[in-house]
Amino acid sequence: MHRRAISSALGSAALVLVCAMTAPVMAQTDEQRAGARSLATDGATAFNEGRFKDAVDLFSKAESLVHAPPHLLFIARANTKLGQLVKAREAYLKIGREQLSPNSPQAFRDAQAAASRELAAIEHKIGSLAVKVEGAPDAKDLQIDGNAIPSVLVGASQPIDPGEHHLEAVATGFRAQPKTIKVADGEKASVTIKLEVDPTAASPAMASTPGAPGAASPAAMTSPGAAPPPGMPAPTPDTGTGGGSAGMRIGAYSAFGLGAIGIGVGTVFLLKASSNRSKADDLCKLPPDNHCDPTRKAEIDGYDSDADSAQTLAIVGYAVGGAAVATGVLLLVLDKPSSEAKSAHITPWIGLGQAGVSGRF
């Protein structure tokens, strides 16, 4: 029965490629269409033989030449077999969101119907993971299973395949022990990675080689009242009037830049969420009682899912942006003379679609 279903799907893929040959809007060459047909045939064979990685690769290549929902359906099914449910869901959603024309091949419609059924079978198995990174004041790099995670997603809950995952975090001058976490089907997990100062990291102040000509000894550099070594400027006396540090100002401006990026990213995703929500609402205004079009349920669900994801990313962007702005303001306050810094205070605030700081400086 299973082999019969695979053979039927293979026939559908071949039918898709035949139909694509007659579609002038795609403007493929005969060589591209023939190549896509060959790749899809080999991909279906690989799937039938249990070579799911090969199937994903072959159908992805076929899709790059000729777009067809059955290509994406095979990619989703192969990723499901590999346990890569997040990738499978994205392929299923892409099929469901596509608006088919009235004269689309039946194979396209069959693929869309199958995608809706199979998506429901894996949706509840996809878990979520939030990874927080603590301990480093500067930029941190997080990797999950060797894949870099965008900074705006650090600390945010994100979809993840069930199973074992390897986590690593690094930052300049800091290190942390890698962690391994196992996520069960549908589990909402969280983990914190704490970065610690790396004692083996080279310090700029110790860059010169001890004993080399012109190199200053630690005692000569740290002893009170000692004359500076030849070629080194005399240290600036500490007047006790405040930070006066160019490093703090640079850090503040960098934080403001990061804040602007975070808030900008949040705004983009908020607009995207609003757009997708509007598209879903437009499909639910059928007379006489504003009900939803049942024939386009998969499309409506796709828009709603995209809107939810975009809204989550918008909140994360605003949160990161607001925190960065607050950090920049704090650095500027600390850079003021001590008498002014003591009387200053700031309070960051974050809300849906907006973020900022308030206080007295």
**75 and 178 part of one domain:** no
Write out the H or E segment, with its range, that includes residue 155.
none
* Prediction pTM value: 0.50
What pLDDT shows up at residue 308?
A: 85
Residues 114, 133 within the same domain = no
Residue 155 burial (CB < 10 Å; 0-12/13-18/19+)? Answer: middle
Q: Are residues 332 and 251 in the same domain?
A: yes
Query: If residue 43 lies in a helix (H) or strand (E), which one and from where to where?
Result: helix 30-48
Main-chain dihedrals φ then ψ at residue 57, nearest 5 degrees:
-65, -45
pLDDT (tens digit, 9 = 90+) per residue, 237-286? 544 444 456 777 787 778 778 778 878 877 887 888 788 778 777 777 76
- Distances in Å between the Cα of 19 and the Cα atoms of 13, 103, 108, 339, 346 are 10, 11, 10, 78, 64
* Assigned token pair, 54: 């090969």
> Rounded to the nearest 10 degrees, what angle do helices 2-21 and 106-123 cross at?
130
Task: DSSP letter for 138, please.
Answer: S
Q: CATH number of the domain that 113 lies in? A: 1.25.40
Q: How many CB atoms lie within 10 A of CB 148?
A: 9
CA dist 223 and 108 (Å) reads 80
Q: Are residues 102 and 141 part of one domain?
A: no
87 and 170 both lie in a single domain: no
- Give yes or no: residues 153 and 260 share one domain: no
> What is the structure's pLDDT at 288?
66
Instruction: Write the CATH number for 193.
Output: 2.60.40.1120
Does residue 92 belong to any structural domain of this protein?
Answer: yes
Residue at which a domain ends, from 123, 143, 162: 123
Amino acid identity of residue 264, one-letter, is G
3-state secondary structure of 347: strand
Domain boundary residue among 178, 197, 216?
A: 197
In a domain, 227, yes or no: no
CA distance linking residue 342 with residue 285, whole number of Å: 59
Residue by residue, pLDDT tens for the chain (361 residues) are: 444 444 444 444 444 444 443 343 345 788 888 999 999 999 999 999 999 999 999 999 999 999 999 999 999 999 999 999 999 999 999 999 999 999 999 999 999 999 999 999 999 999 999 998 888 766 568 899 999 988 888 889 999 999 999 998 888 888 888 999 999 999 999 999 988 888 887 554 444 445 444 444 444 444 445 555 555 555 555 444 444 567 777 877 787 787 788 788 778 878 887 887 787 777 777 666 667 777 777 777 887 888 788 788 878 877 887 787 788 777 777 766 655 545 555 555 555 555 555 555 5
Q: How many domains does the chain have?
A: 3
| Domain-embedded: residue 240 | no
On whether both 260 and 181 belong to a single domain, the answer is no
Among 123, 142, 171, the domain boundary falls at: 123
Q: Are residues 119 and 141 in the same domain?
A: no
Does residue 219 lie in a domain region?
no
Same domain, 150 and 75: no
Q: Do 193 and 119 belong to one domain?
A: no
179 strand-pairing partners:
167
- One domain for residues 311 and 325: yes
Cα 301 to Cα 294: distance, rounded to the nearest angstrom: 11
Q: Do the domain assignments include residue 203?
A: no
Q: Parallel, antiparallel, or unpaired: how do β-strands 147-149 and 141-144 relate?
A: antiparallel
The percent helix, strand, coil of the chain (3-state, each to 5) is: 55, 15, 30
Pairing of strands 354-360, 345-351: antiparallel
> Does residue 161 fall inside a structural domain?
yes
Domain that holds residue 23: 2-123
* Total count of residues recorded for the chain: 361
Q: Which tens digit of pLDDT belongs to each residue from 58-85?
A: 999 999 999 999 999 999 999 999 999 9
How far is 172 from 298, CA to CA, in rounded Å? 46
Specify if 49 maps to a domain. Answer: yes
Q: Are residues 117 and 160 in the same domain?
A: no
**Taking a C-beta distance cutoff of 8 angstroms, is the pair 229, 216 a contact?**
yes
The answer as to whether 15 is a domain residue is yes
